[in-house]
Amino acid sequence: MTTESQEQKVYVTPEVKAQIGQGGPPASWPEPLDRMSLRRYVLATDDENPLYRDEEYARRSKYGGLIAPPFFVAAYPIAFAQIIEEWQHEHPEELRPGGAPAVRIEGLRRGVNAGSEIEWYRPFCLGDTLTWKARISDIVQRTGRSGPMVVSTTETEFRNQRGELVAIMRGSGIRMN
Amino acid sequence: MTWHVQTPRITKQTYFDDISVGTELPNRVVGPVDSCDTVRFCSAWETYGALHTDYKWCTANGYRDVVLNGPLKNAILISYVDQWVGEGGYLKKLMCQHRGWDYHDAVFTGFGKVTRTYEDGGLLCADLEVGLRNERDEISCPGTATVVLPRRGGPPAPIEYPLSDWGKKVVSNLANARPGPARSRRGEGGEGGGASAPAPTGGNMIPDEAKAVIGTKGEPVSWPFPLDRSTVRRFGQATYEEKPIYADIEYARNSRWGELCAPPICVIRAPFDDEGLMGEAAAPPVPIPGARGGGNGGNESEWFRPVKLGDTITQHAYLADLVQRTGRAQTIIIVRAETVYTNQRSEVVAVGRQDTLRLIPTPRS
């Protein structure tokens, strides 16, 4: 009886749904993508692609210069996480720039990362800066093996210094008991 | 998870008028220095040796935890003194010794005292005794420093200096040094060979082949790219740099420096290549049979001009000396390398001396 009533419990109430769309202001850091950042990233990921490490090769390519590996857009904001965290520490009431608030669901305590997807629209090139902005894009209830769970998705948009869309990342998290 | 600086930022200007022999520097507490901090430093410096990163390796090799990098402590000490002299002062020279191991979660307290004040060629100088005390109340990093300070109401200390006597000596020694034996790259054999050979017993433990390396130089090594913003940021984040000329590009460009500058530790400890080849590692290898290496004995550096975004530094090192200290349990051979740091205009920006320790256990009779 207890199990059944738990399965039927609705966690995604209208109040929870109302969190969709919430997100902090855009964040950016005026540090153009430079050689040293690229070098470290390709060393760390053992990426042999000359588009990311060979300036001569990249110049002769259709990109006309070095570009960042695809996943680098997700890494870029992390370099400035410390700076944003310090700002947040001094402004605890404000929404985190470049981030979305944690989805709050009464009664579901555990949280796990459920993965992410990225769509790329144009390369992130040497000398570019990025602005990123995140919002909660979806909250749905599902039933898993261990009972009810809520999947929330945060969508982050990355734009370059000309305002052009570079990538959209959708990361999902699961809340369960 | 990040640096925790427990005392307020030191932002006020120190004036020559306000100090005299015995004046104490306000303490600065940094720590606990945890694994995130060492990862950040190792990344800024591009050195990933197991001794400074790998808990399993460290405990399997007799260390009680991950050992903190000597240059990390050197950086904390440099930053401590550099902040005390403020924007209007100049950290000219700093020597630091490494007296023992520090491990993850160490808490350092910077301390210092003025030992001498004097005028030198129109510059207002002070010599300091400085150091880092760890959480066990041991002085793990004692040192000395020379700083230039402004007078209250007077002009700030210059940002460019002529070579000192020591600077001239190091530059001339390098010019006169003979090319030394080539250093093997990682994966091509050990530290100059000889590490597994039997140690000579008693008396002089420095073989003639090692002495022959004194006065020889290694290959010059240049930064892979001109100094860029992310490098300055990484060093700043790794050493909790708060001085705006190293952290705030707008401020720096409107200052008398005119550009974002590399913090002093970044000048002498910047990453050079995939193997983190730098400092003493850029001097010719020294074969010492039976010795295991290479504890960090300390370092002395003197800075002459700022390094700005776009600058490329070349360092060129020679083996200056080998010094033997024999104790009861072991003999320490101090491998002393001296380095000249020049920018792309061939201006000397700094000179340095690095002591690396080789240890030869005394055989039990």
CB contact under 8 A, A79 and B231: no
Architecture of the CATH domain B1-158+228-261: Roll (3.10)
CATH code at position A90: 3.10.129
Q: Does A85 reside within a domain?
A: yes
- ipTM entry: 0.76
pLDDT in tens, chain A (177 residues): 445 555 568 889 999 999 999 999 998 877 899 998 898 888 888 888 999 999 999 999 999 999 999 999 988 887 777 777 877 888 888 888 888 888 888 888 888 888 999 999 999 999 999 999 999 999 999 988 878 899 999 999 999 999 999 999 999 999 988
**Looking at residues B230-238, what average pLDDT do you find?**
86
Pick from B2, B231, B237: which is nearest to A36 by CB? B231
Per-residue pLDDT at B201 exceeds 70: no
Residue A45 lies in a domain: no
Report if residue A11 sits inside a domain: yes
Residue B142 to chain A, least CA–CA distance (Å): 30
Least confident of B67-76, B102-111, B152-161: B67-76
Total of domains in chain A: 1
H, E, C per residue of chain B: CCCCECCCCCCCCCCHHHCCCCCEEEEEEEEEECHHHHHHHHHHHCCCCHHHCCHHHHHHCCCCCCECCHHHHHHHHHHHHHHHHCCCCEEEEEEEECCCCCECCEEEEEEEEEEEEEEECCEEEEEEEEEEECCCCCEEEEEEEEEECCCCCCCCCCCCCCCCHHHHHHHHHHHHCEECCCCCCCCCCCCCCCCCCCCCCCCCCCCHHHHCCCCEECCCEECCCCCCHHHHHHHHHHCCCCCHHHHCHHHHHCCCCCCCECCHHHHHHCCCCCCCCCHHHHCCCCCCCCCEEEEEEEEEEEECCCCECCCCCEEEEEEEEEEEEECCCEEEEEEEEEEEEECCCCCEEEEEEEEEEEEEECCCC
A31–B233: do the CB atoms touch at under 8 Å? Answer: yes
Cβ distance of A85 and B225 shorter than 8 Å? no
Q: Where is pLDDT greater, at B99 or A1?
A: B99
Residue B7 in this model has a pLDDT that exceeds 50: no
Which of B233, B273, B275 has the highest number of chain A CBs within 10 A, making it the mutation to test binding with A? B233
Domain boundaries, chain B: 1-158+228-261, 163-227+273-365
- Whether residues A39 and B224 touch (CB distance < 8 A) is answered with yes
* Residue A78 covered by a domain: yes
- Domain residues for the domain of A94 are 2-33+70-176
pLDDT digits (tens, 9 = 90+) for B101-135: 899 999 999 999 999 999 998 999 999 999 999 99
